[in-house]
Every structure is written in structure tokens, then in C-alpha cells.
């Protein structure tokens, strides 16, 4: 029975120069979400705690950044996977269904990163108001993402309800497609 994720929102404010939405530096070893690079069993390098009875845990993050240069705001959000905090209890016996369930946790993080990118692209705030506006939008996205992750595990019983799992997979694929305009260029 897999459980979901661990989350992190990082705020980065950079000064002077032209405004360009830049990639946020990820923690060492983190894997940036990519449609062409699905998770593998080897990506799960963490160790489960004995008290955790689940079969796996995916540690996904949404890393955020903002620039304010020449009084022009630009922001970004990137989904990433933390191998050191992600684990599978029995790597030799992981099923394709379990790996798909864990991948979908990562995919859900990307859906909410794209939604946040969409919102950040629409933000028209002065640099003096950037902090509070950026914090408010980021926190709302983070809260919505957390609720979606919880609902996903509850609705699928951590991937054990195969029909509900298939419905979630289709729904998330559709959301990624609908938000394709807000995908990172090389994702």
C-alpha cells in the first residue's frame, strides 16, 4: 500500500537585470519531472521506517522561484522527485501497478506546478508587492496540491482499487494535456 509524497515550496528572489523566468536550482540528486523520463524502481533510494506499513512512498516537491528585475516580475514552478526520501519496501517485488501509482503522485505534482506556472504568468504585480502576492498564490497552489494527493490515495486506497486507479490515471493525463501550454520547454 503506497502512500504519497513529501512536499517543499522554496521561495527564491533574485535582483537586477532583465526579467527571465529561470529554473529553480533543485536539491542535489533531485529528478526534474519529464514526460520522457518516468520513474524506475532504482530511483527509490530511501529506506522505509519500520512504523510505516505502506509498500512505497514518493517524495515529490514543487520548487518555486521568482525574479524581480527592472520592476518586472517573472515566476516559475518545477515539480521534482527526491530519490533519497522516496522508497519501496520490497524493490525486488514491486509491481508495475505500484510503480504506476507512485509515478502518478509525481505526475500530480507536475499538474499543480503547471497550474501554478499558469497563475504566475498571469500575475501583474509591482515588485514592491511581489512577496505577499507570490506567497499567497504559491500557498494556495500548495494547499490544492496537498488536497489532491490526499484525495488520490483515499480514492484509490493507495492504488489497490484498480478501477479508481485507472480513472485517476486518465484524469491526470487529461489535465497534463490541458495544461500543455504551461509545461517546461524541455520537460
Q: To which residue does cell 499567497 refer? A: 136
Lowest mean pLDDT among 38-47, 51-60, 175-184: 51-60
Report the distance separating Cα 173 and Cα 143, nearest Å.
Answer: 21
Q: Is the pLDDT score of 16 beyond 90? A: no
Q: Is the pLDDT score of 39 beyond 80? A: yes
Tell me: the pLDDT tens digits for 110-158? Answer: 999 999 999 998 888 777 777 778 888 999 999 999 999 999 999 999 9
Tell me: the pLDDT tens digits for 44-53? Answer: 999 997 777 7
Report the distance separating Cα 157 and Cα 162, nearest Å.
Answer: 9
Q: Which one, of 68, 148, 80, 69, lies nearest residue 110 by Cα?
A: 80
pTM, 2 dp: 0.85
Q: Where are the domains of the chain?
A: 13-182
CB neighbourhood size of 36 (10 A): 6
Cα 113 to chain centroid distance, Å, stands at 6
Q: Which residues contact 150 (CB under 8 A, 6 or more apart)?
A: 4
Query: What integer pLDDT is reported at residue 180 of this predicted model?
Result: 97
Segment 15-21 mean pLDDT: 34
Amino acid at each position: 500500500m503506497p502512500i504519497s509524497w513529501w512536499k517543499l515550496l522554496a521561495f527564491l528572489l533574485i535582483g537586477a537585470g532583465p526579467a527571465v523566468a529561470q529554473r529553480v536550482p533543485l536539491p542535489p540528486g533531485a529528478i526534474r519531472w519529464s514526460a520522457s523520463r518516468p520513474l524506475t524502481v532504482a530511483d527509490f533510494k530511501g529506506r522505509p521506517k519500520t512504523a510505516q506499513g505502506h509498500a512505497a512512498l514518493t517524495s515529490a516537491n514543487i520548487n518555486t522561484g521568482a525574479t524581480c528585475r527592472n520592476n518586472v516580475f517573472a515566476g516559475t514552478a518545477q515539480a521534482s522527485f527526491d530519490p533519497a526520501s522516496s522508497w519501496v519496501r520490497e524493490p525486488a517485488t514491486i509491481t508495475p501497478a505500484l510503480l504506476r501509482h507512485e509515478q502518478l503522485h509525481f505526475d500530480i505534482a507536475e499538474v499543480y506546478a503547471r497550474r501554478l506556472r499558469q497563475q504566475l504568468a498571469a500575475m501583474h504585480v509591482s515588485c514592491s508587492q511581489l512577496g505577499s502576492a507570490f506567497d499567497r498564490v504559491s500557498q494556495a497552489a500548495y494547499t490544492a496540491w496537498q488536497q489532491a494527493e490526499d484525495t488520490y490515495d483515499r480514492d484509490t486506497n493507495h492504488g489497490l482499487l484498480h478501477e479508481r486507479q485507472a480513472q485517476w490515471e486518465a484524469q491526470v493525463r487529461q489535465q497534463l494535456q490541458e495544461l500543455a501550454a504551461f509545461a517546461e520547454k524541455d520537460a
